């Protein structure tokens, strides 16, 4: 898979967030703190998945059809907001 550098950096940041949650557990931090951190991880992961799927969809449509990318971007943005 050819990964956009910004997407790759997001994944690395996600890895750091998850390691932070593990450290919080090791330090016996409160449940609320750990859950807050894990919720941030989940939100970030959802965003990265959305970005990867969006990029794949754009590349697929662009290679097979002659459609304006702005129209596709608008449709994807609307779909992403609906999640």
Residue 62 CB contacts under 8 Å (≥ 6 apart), including other chains: 69, 72
Class of domain 5-81: mainly alpha
| Residue 35 burial (CB count, 10 A) | 12
Mean pLDDT by 10 residues, the chain (83 residues): 85 96 96 96 90 81 72 72 60
pLDDT of residue 62: 74
Distance CA 41, CA 57 (A): 24
pLDDT of residue 51: 84
Is the pTM above the cut of 0.85? no
pLDDT of residue 81: 67
DSSP designation for 27:
T
The ranges assigned to domains in the chain are: 5-81
């Amino acid at each position: 898979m050819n990964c956009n550098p910004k997407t790759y950096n997001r994944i690395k940041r996600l890895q750091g967030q998850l390691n932070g949650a593990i450290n919080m557990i090791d330090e016996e931090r409160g449940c609320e703190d750990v859950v807050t951190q894990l919720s941030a991880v989940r939100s970030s992961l959802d965003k990265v998945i959305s970005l990867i799927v969006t990029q794949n969809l754009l590349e697929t449509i662009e290679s097979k059809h002659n459609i304006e990318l702005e129209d596709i971007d608008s449709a994807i943005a609307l779909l992403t907001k609906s999640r």
